[in-house]
Amino acid sequence: MPHKLADCFKTAMTDAAEPEQAAQDLASQLLHPHLGFVLFFCSAEYDLATLADALEQHFGGVALTGCTSAGEITSQGYGRGCITAIGFDHRAFAVDCTLIRELDNFSLVDAQQAVERMLSHCRHTGLAPIKDHTFALTLLDGLSSREEVVLSTLSAALGSIPHFGGSAGDDNHLSHTHVYHQGRFHTGAAVVVMFNTWLNFEVFTTHHLQPLADKLVVTAADSETRTVLELNAEPAAEEYARLVGVPLSELSLSHFALNVLAVRIRDQFYVRSIQRVNPDGSLTFYCAVDTGIVLTAMQPGPLLPDLRLEIERLRQQLGEPVLIIGCDCFLRRMESELRGEADSLGRFLANNRVIGFNTYGEQYNGMHINQTFTGVAFALPH
């Protein structure tokens, strides 16, 4: 049984623009006799078909899963236009993956069969008991608008197994996002990865937002397309622009990043981020919206203090994190850039061994959320 950090994980990054060179770089950093699985996040700027072929060729037989991103988190902090990756040692992790091709037709029976198949693989490996030693990671096409349905179905099948994930990005183009499974990039799909390990771990989520007094009631919405037509019985974009205090014509992504709306569920606020203003004055969101919900305006604080507190809490709970896989909303990164905090945030992530990506939405125990930092932290058993 490996007991040193180096025996459980290896991390890698490459900013080589040419897919063949990039795959070769990653392989040279990750390949070793006990490599069992590779998770990667890559810029959508790559020629994905060529990259897929190159990865399969250079990793010869090692299972790889990943997705395109809206920015990468590397061992050096925030990256852009690169690939970041983690190699998992098969002596510390049993891993199995399932591709969900048709998100629209994903049923509870499909979810139960997939979960049972992956659990069976983990049981067969015999590394650790299933209970308390297993979690799932979900990577979804970030433009599919099917996250809620797929996640609630999966959550029912997973039961008490914690799960988290992120929606694939495409460097803020909002046009084509992909997940990778068995040698190909897929669109309109999702990958579920089951991990079983004897390491200590905790799945977590955190955000840096506080509620304000302002409320907006969704008085007309098309829930199928996540589009809000009216807020407070006024055209949605107009009412939002009034709340933010800018002319409608000037509304931009930076306003969405800094002026956040959230829905309250019990005592927690869950962000509903705006994706775009439509020509008809409606607003399309990244998360589920429905007629009748009340959106609360949120006040963002600095990003670093909240993240520092959360990682300190994890340290107390688990021990010193040896790796954190992070799904960090791309709007948080944009906010950190607008506020001049990106460099210090990137350094903090690197110092705390965070590897991951900027997402078009995060997933946490069956919920699809926005503008959070969600992930899993690992520590060696005491």
The pLDDT value recorded for residue 253 is 86
For the chain, how are helix, strand and coil distributed in percent, rounded to 5?
30, 40, 30
The pLDDT value recorded for residue 302 is 86
* Residue type for position 76: Q
State how far the Cα of 162 lies from the Cα of 136, in Å rounded to an integer: 7
State how far the Cα of 40 lies from the Cα of 210, in Å rounded to an integer: 33
DSSP secondary structure, 21-75, as one string: HHHHHHHHHH--TTEEEEEEEEETTS-HHHHHHHHHHHHTT-EEEEEEESSEEET
Domains, the chain, ordered by start? 9-206+305-379 (no CATH), 209-300 (2.40.30)
State how far the Cα of 27 lies from the Cα of 245, in Å rounded to an integer: 51
**Is the CB of residue 166 less than 8 Å from the CB of residue 363?**
yes
* Polymer length in residues for the chain: 382
> How far is CA 361 from each of CA 144, 212, 276, 368, 378, rounded to the nearest angstrom?
11, 22, 15, 7, 22
Both tokens assigned to 239: 């009412």
Strand 283-285, strand 227-231: pairing: antiparallel
Helix, strand, or coil (residue 319): coil
**Is the CB of residue 136 less than 8 Å from the CB of residue 193?**
yes
The pLDDT value recorded for residue 2 is 46
Both tokens assigned to 254: 């930076």
Phi, psi at residue 336, to the nearest 5°? -65, -35
Task: Please list the pLDDT of the chain residue by residue as tens digits (382 residues).
Answer: 445 555 799 999 999 999 999 999 999 999 999 999 999 999 999 999 999 999 999 998 899 999 999 999 999 999 999 999 999 999 999 999 999 998 888 999 999 999 999 999 999 999 999 999 999 999 998 676 677 888 989 999 999 999 999 999 998 777 789 999 999 999 999 999 999 999 999 999 999 999 999 999 999 999 888 999 999 999 999 999 999 999 999 999 889 988 999 999 888 888 888 999 999 999 999 888 899 999 999 988 889 999 999 999 999 999 999 999 999 999 999 999 988 999 999 999 999 999 999 999 999 998 888 899 999 999 999 8
- Prediction pTM value: 0.91
State how far the Cα of 147 lies from the Cα of 162, in Å rounded to an integer: 17
The pLDDT value recorded for residue 6 is 58
- Give the contacts of 54 (CB within 8 A, at least 6 positions apart): 19, 20, 22, 23, 24
State how far the Cα of 151 lies from the Cα of 158, in Å rounded to an integer: 10
- Give the contacts of 62 (CB within 8 A, at least 6 positions apart): 31, 35, 36, 37, 38
